[in-house]
Amino acid sequence: MKPILLAYSGPGQGHRMAAMALREAFLAERAPVVCLDTLTTAMPFFRFLYAGLYKIMARHAHLACEQVYRLTDRSRRKSSMIRAIDWWSRQNTMAFQVLAKSLAPGAAVCTHFLPMAILSLMRERGEFNGQIHVVITDYDLHGFWVDPGVDHYCVATVNVRDRLAAKGVPDSKIAITGIPVRESFSRLAATPRSRAKHLPLKILFLAHSIAFETSREIIGRLEALGSRVRLTVVGHRRLRETCRSRDTDWLENVTDLSSLMASSDLLVTKPGGLVCSEALS
């Protein structure tokens, strides 16, 4: 049986965690699966621009990040800039392409548009023969996700489906499935909350991927609520010195986020598609 290729890319954890959720589901069905991060074997400078620079802009240059988002939100068929980006991406990810060829999977499932675009170009050149399935890991649609070489899309909402259809993707190629999350999030029910008025509200703040100054301001405002709340912060060590309240719980790394979410009353985090889906599951 040919393996299934699960391909994602490193910017942000959401794309990787969606791939891990799919891996978990495939393995439960005893399907052979191989996970590849497109950026792991990419050229160093390309990897820095694609992942490192993105993280810096997302945390510290929101206006620039928004401008890049809008500038690149275009059709591949109509934009020479997007086609040039695809060509440049292909030149810098040769190792990933070699691995994809050697695996010869019957199908690839992409949770990021970078491997999707590369595999689509490979298939045009006769270098990849498998089907290409794409899981859009957001509640909105960016033009990077749209590629005529994709065989099937899995989307979170009717809105994303309609936006894909408006860009020429046939309805038969789109399924509304939601964003995949690991079983631990779906299995673990939220802890019933007592109505006793003296119990503090448990607030979980996920500070990773949020700018330092913004995180510090959020922590200050939440701590200012005093004994009415019990605050847990997940973030970098440098933020800890901003926590004035001794009652604030601090975690730098979390291995069981599902349990932490289930024991909280309120989640404060960035509006990422994956983390929102995990919280809502």
Domain boundary among 147, 180, 213: 180
> Beta strand 152-155 with 131-135: parallel, antiparallel or unpaired?
parallel
CA distance 72 to 21: 28
Q: For residue range 110-139, list pLDDT tens digits in order.
A: 999 999 999 999 999 999 999 999 999 999
| Contact assessment for residue 207 and residue 236, using Cβ atoms and an 8 Å cutoff | yes
Same-domain pairing of 156 and 210:
no
Same-domain pairing of 17 and 149:
yes
Q: For residue range 162-203, list pLDDT tens digits in order.
A: 999 999 999 999 999 999 999 888 776 555 555 555 678 999
> Beta strand 152-155 with 229-234: parallel, antiparallel or unpaired?
unpaired
pLDDT for residue 56 is more than 90: no
- Which residues in 92-227 belong to E strands, given as ranges? 107-110, 131-135, 152-155, 174-176, 201-206
CA distance 277 to 281: 6
What's the domain count of the chain?
Answer: 2
- Split at pLDDT 50, 70, 90, the class of 94 is very high
Three-state secondary structure call for residue 210: coil
Same-domain pairing of 102 and 209:
no
Instruction: Kindly report which listed range (41-45, 61-65, 138-142, 172-176) carries the lowest average pLDDT score.
Output: 61-65
CATH number assigned to the domain comprising residue 239: 3.40.50.2000
Domain boundary among 180, 204, 236: 180
Structural domain of 124: 4-180
Residue 69 CB neighbours (<10 A): 13
DSSP string, 92-140: T-HHHHHHHHHH--SEEEESSHHHHHHHHHHHHTTS--SEEEEE--SSS
Q: What's 127's DSSP letter?
A: S
Same-domain pairing of 27 and 148:
yes
pTM: 0.86
Same-domain pairing of 94 and 69:
yes
| Contact assessment for residue 145 and residue 125, using Cβ atoms and an 8 Å cutoff | no
Cα dihedral value 271, 272, 273, 277, nearest 10: -80
